[in-house]
Structure 1
Amino acid sequence: EMLWEEPDDLYWVGITKTLDEKFLIVEASSKETSECWFLDLTEPNSKLQCVATRRLKVEYDVEHRLGQWFIRTNLGGTPNMRLMVSPAKANSQDEWTDVVVAGGEKCFSGDKDRALSSVAAFQSHLVAQGREGGIPRVWFLLPSESSPEEMKDMTMLEFDEATHDVGVSSNYEFKTDSILVAYDSLITPLSHYEISLADPSQRTTIKVKNVPGYEKELYDCERITVTARDGETQIPVSLVYRKDVMKTYAESGKTLPTHLYGYGSYGSCIEDDFRSTRLALLNRGMVYVIAHIRGGGENGRHWYEEPSGAKYMCKKNTFNDFCDVASWLCHDKKLATPEQLSCEGRSAGGLLIGASINQRPELFKVAVLGVPFVDVVATMTDATIPLTATEWEEWGNPNEEKFHQYMVEYCPMLNIRDGAVYPSCLITGGLHDPRVQFWEPAKYAAKLRHHMGAESGKVCLKMDMAAGHFSASDRYKYLRELAFDYAFLLDQMGIADS
């Protein structure tokens, strides 16, 4: 028996079960609109019913607790998601009410200051994940027994490091007094803590990832902001480095080789998490920099959505922000020179790198473009390619003139500068990639070689004949692939022997 079908190609469909195991939730969602249906698992003859019928550009998802839907939604066009509550019944949209903490203040109002990314409902508490101040956060909410929309208390988990990554780990018990939380930072390996819901100060370390040979005290990190070219927007930037390397820079002013990473699409966040593989660069005296540019979600949904984010007709903000950070590193901070600055991005991050080296080729010595989405106009025009139709709510539909013209203005394939001096480029692809078809990086490499100036760096195209979009699934092959990328980077930067 088929319970339900979604005929619209713009929508994805997913199935989950509420933590209390009372309801099956079917969610149909595009990038801008969603709709949830529920099946009562306690009633053998129950039928799928709709929580709230879809409304254009209204997103929502639901959790269940003690007869109430707890709803995460942008209803009303709020910049970020609100937390609302209603009775757990069909067609409940007219009864949605904001969840408030004692005193009447909304827990998550949807404003720009606090972003809500998920809610988990336990028997005694709600646990919310989101962002505040550009940093991932976790909150414990204690519901009132008398009023479902009121919380007695709302507590944010605190950690010693100013910049970090934290999130709720796998928790499968509805009736529990504690939950598992994962934490790491740019210099702290992944740790898991069991934290009491009633008293968040009570924490038990369950596991700390062992990184052989790693000495944390040798490294440091920081989070700063860089002013964008509009003179107002503050771009968060994270740096990680060896302390002795940065001390030498501070004392002598001698510039350092620097690697700049970015993504900036789909509202995805590049977190300040720990990667032992970065040590291969840090221990050679490099500074690793992450630019949390618009198009991502680091500062909430408004960092991604129109009119001030980097979606649709403001996508160029992504590339402008990245170039502004690169320029700041070289010309304001004077941490590096263009001869010492490399950059990297994958997939939509490859689009970022392609557009950035078209805009400011003189800023970079080396560029790494992993499975890069560089033929934007051609791909988005062809709806027979898998996933194209769903992407129209990210980039726009180029079959409409205004979107077509805007894409033409930033598409890396169409804006290679004839005779310009480009950095050395490593361009990778996978033969079985369903997201960025293999011909995109191949076509881009050929066109770049044809048009770039004679003084440009090398262009290396590496096509994996057995891989898809996410490279090798085997961890040892993944490390070999990453070693190749780093070998190219270090060689072209002239520090392979350092």
Structure 2
Amino acid sequence: MHRTRTRTRPLECDGSLVWDESGGLFWVRLDGSHRPHRLYHRRVLDGDGRWIDDQSDELLFEEDDGLYDLRISKSFDGRYLLVRSGSKETSEVRYVDIRPECRERADDDPDGKGARMELRTVAPRSEGVVYRVGHCRGHWLVQTNLGDGGGRTPNLGLRSCRVGDGGMGRWEPVTLAGTGEAAFDGGHGRSLDGVTVFTPADSSRTYAVATGREDGLPQVWVLDLDVDDTDGEDAEAGGTGRALSASSMVRLGFPESACDTGIGPNRDPSLPYVALSYDSLVTPPSTVAVDLSDPSARRVLKTRDVPGYDPDDFACDRTSAGGARSALVRVGQVPDEEENVRGLRRRRLVARRAGRGRRRRRGRRGRVEAVLRGQERGRITRRGGLEYEPGSLPGGDNGRAVRGRGGDDGRLDNTPDSGGVEWGNPNEEEFFDYIMSYSPINNVKEGAVYPACLITGGLFDPRVQFWECAKYAAELRHTASDESGRVLFKTEMTQGHFAGSDRYKFIKDLAFEYAFLLDSLGMS
């Protein structure tokens, strides 16, 4: 660990910034391949809250393994800085208490301006084990694919340990009091996406709000955790604790059988309620407050206004149907009530494979608006969902996740040093054939009829270079049948991997996509 002096200048960071309570800023620097790899701390305010001109950068940690990205966040209660080194298959979390009173003082700096911070490890990395943590009154709530006996589970399970109890062997399942059943065992029946801990100021109780999937839909659970006051000390301080259990676990129910819900914009862990995001095929995106002590008590904080839309004109239903590869597909149906009475069978469908996929904010846009306009909508997810016939979309198996880094020739570049451990080594015939089987540009069929395609790219995209999009568009135009739809290639000259950063630019991009869609359908 070393410190360098610097005049005030813009941070060359990956966008992850965390403030501490003593006027300091944690940030992560990118390497030459745009991989987040170094964690720094910069003190920007003095003890009186005044700006420091001659600032200091302190290197706290460097991830040398090119397979791992470095990410930082703050625990929801604001006590710990969490530093996660992770690949797609393996992860490791370090932490440091960032409260001013817990910072270690340097002998030659008694006023604490140059206080040193030592990162500690929750548990050393183990190949094939992924985990992330949240703080809960002296415990870590660990979401991990590590199962009993050291095996790997298909979904993340929920375990706990004392802060300072290093090693995966100390992780114990969070169980339900009375039955001893694991709240989340990582099995196929119930998946876990995230856990947020609340300690209401007007109560002695501690609640964990978990999000995940069950029965083919996003779900939210409220766990009333048994945590006594003696569990507030860390293991390093000599505290004695036990594995966490929940006196109750309630899965929230909602009035509509096909809906989408998840954790909303929560900022204060001391509030007695949790804000959830909610929407359905007929309900516009809304924010709902749920009382933690009585989850049946709720109030709507805000609902998106959709001009001219009356939800009473529509109904929402849910059924199941056999899907591709014998998978069960949950299908949400939105029949127009008036037309349904007359016996007409016009339905709008949105489907997902049961138990697969995660909540995606961008996937919800325009859902209610599309129903209102009378357009049929379908959702295709990379992992499951409705699958089109082979060749109906240009380039390979549309139901398979395509992962890799773009190469100069427009194909996937899965060389060993860029992630061969995760993606497969293309120098081995088995993996080469597999990669070629889903490489989009290599699977355009000669003379095939393809629908109209809008292909977009960003000039400053470090992940998918603009020439890859250009070559893909050229391949479609050269190879597809004359009966195919048009191929439009659009490059954003000021953007990178994601869309415009401001609200109006996002709306402009969205309007262009809708215009292309409507024009391709012959609508005006």
Q: Equivalent pairs: percent with the same residue? A: 38
Structure-to-structure mapping, 1:234-383, within 5 angstroms? 234-238=328-332, 251=344, 268-270=358-360, 274-276=364-366, 279=369, 281-292=370-381, 294=383, 322-323=387-388, 354-355=395-396, 378-381=410-413
**Hey, what's the Cα distance between the residues in 1 that align with 2:350 and 2:222?**
35
RMSD: 3.6
Which deviates further from its counterpart, 192-201 or 484-493?
A: 484-493
Structure-to-structure mapping, 1:197-236, within 5 angstroms? 197-230=292-325, 232-236=326-330
Q: Is the 8 A contact 2:90 2:125 kept in 1?
A: yes
**Hey, what's the Cα distance between the residues in 2 that align with 1:376 and 1:289?**
34
Amino acid at match of 1:401: E
Give the equivalent residue in structure 2 for 1:111: 187
Amino acid at match of 1:381: D
2:269 is aligned with 1:174 = yes
**Hey, what's the Cα distance between the residues in 2 that align with 1:423 and 1:245?**
30
The residue matched to 1:125 in structure 2 has which SS? strand
**Hey, what's the Cα distance between the residues in 2 that align with 1:431 and 1:140?**
45
Deviation of 1:50 (Å): 0.9
Deviation of 1:9 (Å): 1.7
Q: Is the 8 A contact 1:376 1:407 kept in 2?
A: no
Deviation of 1:382 (Å): 6.4
From the superposition, tell whether residues 222 and 469 of structure 1 become closer, same or farther in structure 2 (CA, over 3 Å). Answer: farther
From the superposition, tell whether residues 33 and 457 of structure 1 become closer, same or farther in structure 2 (CA, over 3 Å). Answer: same
2:68 is aligned with 1:11 = yes
From the superposition, tell whether residues 160 and 37 of structure 1 become closer, same or farther in structure 2 (CA, over 3 Å). Answer: same
Give the equivalent residue in structure 2 for 1:34: 91
Give the equivalent residue in structure 2 for 1:128: 210
**Hey, what's the Cα distance between the residues in 2 that align with 1:292 and 1:132?**
17
Gaps of 5+ in 2: 1-57, 105-116, 200-205, 229-241
Q: Is the 8 A contact 1:241 1:287 kept in 2?
A: no
From the superposition, tell whether residues 358 and 108 of structure 1 become closer, same or farther in structure 2 (CA, over 3 Å). Answer: closer
**Hey, what's the Cα distance between the residues in 1 that align with 2:428 and 2:97?**
43
Q: Is the 8 A contact 2:197 2:208 kept in 1?
A: yes
Cα deviation code 1:310-336 (max 9, x no counterpart): xxxxxxxx8xx5125x99xxxxxxxxx
**Hey, what's the Cα distance between the residues in 2 that align with 1:53 and 1:289?**
43
For 2:287, which of 184, 192, 198 is the aligned residue? 192
The residue matched to 1:115 in structure 2 has which SS? strand
Cα deviation code 1:356-394 (max 9, x no counterpart): 5899xxxxxxxxxxxx9998995432669xxx935x566
Deviation of 1:112 (Å): 0.5
Deviation of 1:151 (Å): 1.1
Q: Is the 8 A contact 1:357 1:422 kept in 2?
A: no
Deviation of 1:228 (Å): 3.7
Amino acid at match of 1:481: D
From the superposition, tell whether residues 270 and 195 of structure 1 become closer, same or farther in structure 2 (CA, over 3 Å). Answer: closer
Question: Bigger relative contact order, structure 1 or 2, given CA contacts below 8 A and separation 6+?
Answer: 1
For 1:160, which of 244, 249, 255 is the aligned residue? 255
Give the equivalent residue in structure 1 for 2:52: none
The residue matched to 1:58 in structure 2 has which SS? coil
Give the equivalent residue in structure 2 for 1:77: 152
**Hey, what's the Cα distance between the residues in 2 that align with 1:283 and 1:134?**
25
Q: Is the 8 A contact 2:333 2:350 kept in 1?
A: no
Amino acid at match of 2:383: R
Deviation of 1:395 (Å): 4.3
**Hey, what's the Cα distance between the residues in 2 that align with 1:293 and 1:77?**
23
Deviation of 1:128 (Å): 1.1
**Hey, what's the Cα distance between the residues in 1 that align with 2:399 and 2:383?**
19
Which deviates further from its counterpart, 475-484 or 115-124?
A: 475-484
Give the equivalent residue in structure 1 for 2:244: 149
Give the equivalent residue in structure 1 for 2:113: none
The residue matched to 2:121 in structure 1 has which SS? strand
From the superposition, tell whether residues 475 and 261 of structure 1 become closer, same or farther in structure 2 (CA, over 3 Å). Answer: farther
Deviation of 1:90 (Å): 4.7
* Rg comparison, structure with higher value: 2
Amino acid at match of 2:161: S
**Hey, what's the Cα distance between the residues in 1 that align with 2:123 and 2:275?**
32
Give the equivalent residue in structure 2 for 1:65: 136
From the superposition, tell whether residues 273 and 417 of structure 1 become closer, same or farther in structure 2 (CA, over 3 Å). Answer: closer
**Hey, what's the Cα distance between the residues in 2 that align with 1:29 and 1:379?**
25
**Hey, what's the Cα distance between the residues in 2 that align with 1:185 and 1:477?**
26
Give the equivalent residue in structure 1 for 2:221: 139
Deviation of 1:284 (Å): 4.6
Deviation of 1:64 (Å): 1.7
Q: Is the 8 A contact 2:156 2:192 kept in 1?
A: yes
Deviation of 1:70 (Å): 1.2
Give the equivalent residue in structure 1 for 2:45: none
Q: Is the 8 A contact 2:426 2:435 kept in 1?
A: yes
Between structures 1 and 2, the one with greater helix share: 1
From the superposition, tell whether residues 154 and 172 of structure 1 become closer, same or farther in structure 2 (CA, over 3 Å). Answer: same
Amino acid at match of 1:168: I
**Hey, what's the Cα distance between the residues in 2 that align with 1:74 and 1:162?**
30
Between structures 1 and 2, the one with greater strand share: 2
**Hey, what's the Cα distance between the residues in 2 that align with 1:389 and 1:247?**
58
Give the equivalent residue in structure 1 for 2:448: 420
Structure-to-structure mapping, 1:435-454, within 5 angstroms? 435-454=463-482
From the superposition, tell whether residues 219 and 462 of structure 1 become closer, same or farther in structure 2 (CA, over 3 Å). Answer: farther
Deviation of 1:227 (Å): 2.7
From the superposition, tell whether residues 177 and 456 of structure 1 become closer, same or farther in structure 2 (CA, over 3 Å). Answer: closer
Amino acid at match of 2:288: Y
**Hey, what's the Cα distance between the residues in 2 that align with 1:71 and 1:138?**
18
Amino acid at match of 1:389: S
Give the equivalent residue in structure 2 for 1:95: 170
**Hey, what's the Cα distance between the residues in 1 that align with 2:398 and 2:208?**
46
2:102 is aligned with 1:43 = yes
TM-score norm. by structure 2 comes to: 0.71
TM-score norm. by structure 1 comes to: 0.75
For 2:513, which of 473, 481, 485 is the aligned residue? 485
Q: Is the 8 A contact 2:408 2:468 kept in 1?
A: no
Q: Is the 8 A contact 2:221 2:251 kept in 1?
A: yes
From the superposition, tell whether residues 261 and 356 of structure 1 become closer, same or farther in structure 2 (CA, over 3 Å). Answer: farther
Which deviates further from its counterpart, 58-67 or 220-229?
A: 220-229
The residue matched to 1:207 in structure 2 has which SS? strand
